[in-house]
Amino acid sequence: MTSPLPSRFPYAPGSDGTPRLVYGADYNPEQWPREVWEEDVRLMREAGVNTVSVGIFSWARLQPARNTWDFGWLDELMELLHAGGIGVDLATATASPPPWLTTAHPEILPVTASGETVWPGARQHWRPTSPVFRTHALRLVRELATRYADHPALVAWHINNELGCHNAYDYSDDAARAFRTWLRHRYTTLDALNHAWGTAFWSQRYSDWEQILPPRLAASHPNPTQQLDFKRFSSDALKEHLRAERDVLREITPDIPVTSNFMVMGGTKGMNYADWAAEVDFVSNDHYTQPGPQDRDELSFSANLTSAIAGHRPWFLMEHSTSAVNWQPVNLAKKPGELARDSLLHLAHGADAICFFQWRQSAAGAEKYHSAMVPHAGPDSEVFRAVTDLGRTLEALASVAGAAREPARVGILFDWDSWWASEQDSHPTARLDYRQEALDWYSALLALGVRADVITPATDPGAYDLLIAPVLHVVPEALAKELTRYAETGGHLVTTYFSGVVDENDHVWLGGYPGALRELLGIRIEEFGPLLDGDTVELDNSTTGGLWTDRITVDGPEVEVLARYRSGTYANRPAVTRRPTGRGSATYVSTRLGTDGLAALLPELLGRAGVESELPESARGRVETVVRRDTESRYLFLVNRTEEPVPLPGLTGDLLAGGAEQGAGAELVLPPRGVAVLRSPVTS
Ligand code: GAL
């Protein structure tokens, strides 16, 4: 297991100096008169809040003009918080450039693919590659770091805010210049770039680096490798900004840990966080649920993936909501119990800090209808009572701080390159949804009561008995070899439609699909058979496929056909195949089965890999389990996924917290939306 305690995680110390879970919020006191601050600190203490993020959108207040600084209010606030025993995760305040800067330097404003300027008026209106923006941002970072370097309230630095939330793609001339530099670094020669981009096609051959542009609005589909490289470049450009701010902070305050809040959640695609994680001292994430049939599963999936990004070390939940947000078409309030359940599910997946956006609900501005820990109604409210209850629960769970997530036996591989490449335009279908396919596998495992880890390419696949790699579209030669070795040394690999098809340059592996994985899977596909919206095909294992089919020819005598198409163009041909590879196997699923279909298929795949649910049969599908452990204790988190009470016969341990009731005969009963944490001693 990975070393559990990241030495640079800002645990809030308890009264006896032992690590406690962090509890807090974004705190924006500049929106409030001074007298409210005292009440804020008093209420924070009442709620058990021990850490707040300050200054995230304070640039205009801290630096009202180019050479005018105003730190007085922040000095006072830092003192007040410190006196109240509350630590500060201090933002570098660079997320929203002030009007004086954008007026003097409109050349820092981002430009869309069709050449429109993204004007000030909201936030994050800056080009990640603007040298002018960089100079001003780093000047602010230096001032802040120097001023607060030795402040006792300072527990961590918070770089910018959700880098790329609104400015992930910028097509400006600055971006064009930086893109060329990035490409020179990647390819060295123009010949190599011309080859990688396949510029023999449509007369796109470049004879000078200066001719290369971002994939701006074009007459038809821009070059696919140019598009893919621009995605890689854009993620790197934001990462570069993160590094630049971090380097200033490390120079001035080498002992203060640095983080930046990621957005591992549905709807965010632009930033390759698996690749960013090494740049920060601890990983932080923001997560907001979006109502839908899989919203609970999506929260779990994102938290699980964040844990992998963090190298399976504890991480910081920097933001989530106490109740409604303001940016969805309809913003639902959370139901009773949801605030705690969402928080504890993040905790179960390795979050040692549970924080919200934001502390006090704004009275003005675009987020005035976004919930907070102290709502418009004030502290005499259900939300604030739920907030203080959660504070007490987190105190009861303090011993979990630092415990690692216990690895599951099933891994789901999540790969940004395949995500970006598989969803590009000019493909067999425009309907493919990479994250949804991965989430469906995860939901199916939850439905069967089987724990799984969502992992990144940096995770060792050898740790998993069953490795599911949905839509693993980009397979460079080295990855094909690694997966072959995995399966040949006893691992059970499962992959799906549109996998193995291209290399890292988005060039098709020739000779038949699934290209790089053809031999391993022992099948050959000559043509894809995507389905029109609403069209489905029946399989002979009583499941139904959508989105995609493949015309599969079995290419090896030992390959088993686990299911055939019963209807559609490929009726009677194989739909799901499995090739034994010594002690392991390689399975291919050629259609989108959805959660129910996958839940029907998975028992066979799990059975062959020897993986079973750890839950009593009656609780499978109704309860999610996650395990954390340290050298002394194993913490079993049991999360009720339903709106009904769920009895948990046979599960024992020391019930630490989470609103479960002991039913008749000491049987544990999880209330609707409830969470229980059972601690048992580690025996081996
Ligand atoms: C995040 C952001 C916060 C706040 C929140 C609202 O994207 O970091 O500042 O806007 O969303 O849900």
CA of 281 to the centre of ligand 1 (A): 22
Q: What is the pLDDT of residue 375?
A: 98
The response to whether residue 319 sits with its C-beta less than 6 Å from ligand 1 reads: yes
Cα 530 to Cα 441, 494, 518, 570, 614: the distances in Å are 20, 20, 19, 11, 37
Q: Report pTM.
A: 0.97
- Can you list the residues of the chain whose pLDDT is less than 70? 1-7, 658-666, 684
The response to whether residue 357 sits with its C-beta less than 6 Å from ligand 1 reads: yes
The pair phi, psi for residue 229, each rounded to 5°, is: -65, -35
The response to whether residue 550 sits with its C-beta less than 6 Å from ligand 1 reads: no
Q: What is the pLDDT of residue 393?
A: 96
pLDDT in tens, 483-497: 999 999 999 999 999
Buried b (16+ CB within 10 A) or exposed e, 522-534: bbbbeebbbbeee
The Cα 454–Cα 406 span in angstroms is 13
Crossing angle (nearest 10°) for helices 382-396 and 338-348:
30
Q: What is the pLDDT of residue 2?
A: 43
Cβ atoms of 474 and 272 within 8 Å: the answer is: no
Q: What is the pLDDT of residue 22?
A: 98
Smallest CA separation from ligand 1 atom 5, residue: 357
pLDDT in tens, 527-558: 999 999 999 999 999 999 999 999 999 997 79
Provide CB contacts within 8 A for 2, sequence distance 6+. 311, 312, 313, 404
Pocket test of ligand 1: the residue of 268, 367, 371 to mutate, having most ligand atoms within 8 Å of its CB, is 367
The Cα 644–Cα 316 span in angstroms is 30
Q: Strand ranges (DSSP E) for 457-573?
A: 466-469, 492-496, 523-528, 536-538, 544-546, 550-554, 560-564
Q: What is the pLDDT of residue 3?
A: 41
Q: What is the pLDDT of residue 606?
A: 98
Count each helix (H run) and each strand (E run) in the chain, helices first: 17, 30
What domains lie within the chain, and their CATH numbers? 410-609 (3.40.50.880), 621-681 (2.60.40.1180)
CA of 553 to the centre of ligand 1 (A): 50
As beta bridge partners, residue 513 has: 525
